[in-house]
Amino acid sequence: MSKLVVSSFLIAVFSGSLAFADKAPATKTPPPAQNHHCKLADGTMDMKKTHTQCTTAKGTWAKDAADAPKADAPKADAPKADTKAGTPMKP
């Protein structure tokens, strides 16, 4: 009988703490930037609408303009370095 009482007590004590075990801790990182917005039929953009609200309002969920090219990306017209072994590179 004593084991039953102790078991019941332990279950009651630890069951409360297990209820929160599946919740993730709060993080301090900001969410990613939104890259789609609602474009309404009259051509205006409504930044506050969600995808569902936008389609319900007969709008389109449009992707924003393309991002600017990265600074470290090679340019298309840049000359390529000579990578053959034993060949000196030209200045």
Q: Over 60: is that where the pLDDT of 83 sits?
A: no
d(CA 34, CA 49): 12
For 6-62, write each residue's pLDDT tens digit: 887 777 777 665 555 566 667 788 877 778 888 888 888 888 888 899 989 899 988
Record the tokens describing residue 71, joined without a space. Answer: 């600074």
d(CA 86, CA 82): 10
d(CA 53, CA 1): 59
d(CA 19, CA 62): 40
Q: 């004590």: which residue's tokens?
A: 13
Record the tokens describing residue 57, joined without a space. Answer: 């309002």
